[in-house]
A and B are shown apart, each in its own frame.
Chain A
Amino acid sequence: MNQTLNSHRRSEGFRHNKLVQAWLVLLLAIIFGSALAAVQVNLSDVIAANKLNESLEQVPELVWGAAKAAELVENKVRIDIEPGILTVDTDGKKTVYHLFRVSMDRTLAGWVIRAGGQGYADKIELLIGLSPDAGKISGLFVLEQKETPGLGNKIIFSQWRDQYIGKDTQTPLTVTTGRSNAPDTIDAVTGATISSKSVTDIVNLTTRAVNGRLASVEYVKQ
Chain B
Amino acid sequence: MEYLFDIFLISISAALINNFVLYYFVGICPFIGVSRQVSMAVGMGSAVTAVMTFAVFLSWTITTLILTPGAPLSAWVAGWFMSPEKARTIDLTIMTYIVYIFSIASAVQFVEMYVRRFYPPLYKSFGVFLPLITTNCAILFACLTVMSNVVGKANPAEAWDLGRSLALGFFGGVGFTIAIVIMAGIREELDLCDVPKPFQGAAITLIVGGILAMAFMGFNGVDTGIRSALGGL
Contact = CB atoms under 8 A, between A and B. Distances in A.
By CB atoms of chain A within 10 A, which of B95, B154, B157 has the most? B154
Contacts of B221: 120, 194
A78 interface: no
Interface string B202-221: 00000000000000000011
Contacts of B224: 118-120, 194, 198
- Of residues A44, A114, A119, A121, which shows the largest number of chain B Cβ atoms within 10 Å of its Cβ? A121
A40 interface: yes
A148 B156 CA distance: 29
Contact of B94 (A36, A121, A148, A194): A36
Given A96-B156, A96-B157, A205-B233, A36 B220 contact: no
A190 interface: no
Interface residues of A, number: 24
A154 interface: no
B154 A96 contact: yes
Given A36-B95, A194-B221, A198-B224, A117 B233 contact: yes
A178 to B, nearest CB: 20
Contacts of A80: none
Contact of B91 (A44, A94, A117): A44
Given A120-B221, A120-B224, A96 B155 contact: yes
B220 A114 contact: no
Interface string B133-176: 00000000000000000000011110000000000000000000
Interface in A28-56: 32, 36-37, 39-40, 44
A184 interface: no
A122 to B, nearest CB: 8
A79 B233 CA distance: 35
Interface in B57-116: 91, 94-95, 98
Nearest to A94: B157
A51 B110 CA distance: 38
Contact of A118 (B155, B220, B223): B223
A127 B224 CA distance: 22
A201 B94 contact: no
A221 B149 CA distance: 26
A98 interface: yes
Contacts of A122: 18
A21 interface: no
A108 B130 CA distance: 61
A95 interface: yes
A198 B157 CA distance: 21
A146 B43 CA distance: 33
Nearest to A201: B233
A39 B94 contact: yes
Contacts of B155: 94-96
A44 B217 CA distance: 38
Interface in A102-154: 114, 116-122, 148
A116 B152 CA distance: 14
B124 interface: no
9 contacts: A36-B94, A37-B94, A44-B91, A44-B94, A118-B233, A119-B224, A121-B18, A122-B18, A148-B220
Interface of A: 32, 36-37, 39-40, 44, 94-98, 114, 116-122, 148, 194, 198, 201, 205
Interface of B: 18, 91, 94-95, 98, 154-157, 220-221, 223-224, 227, 233
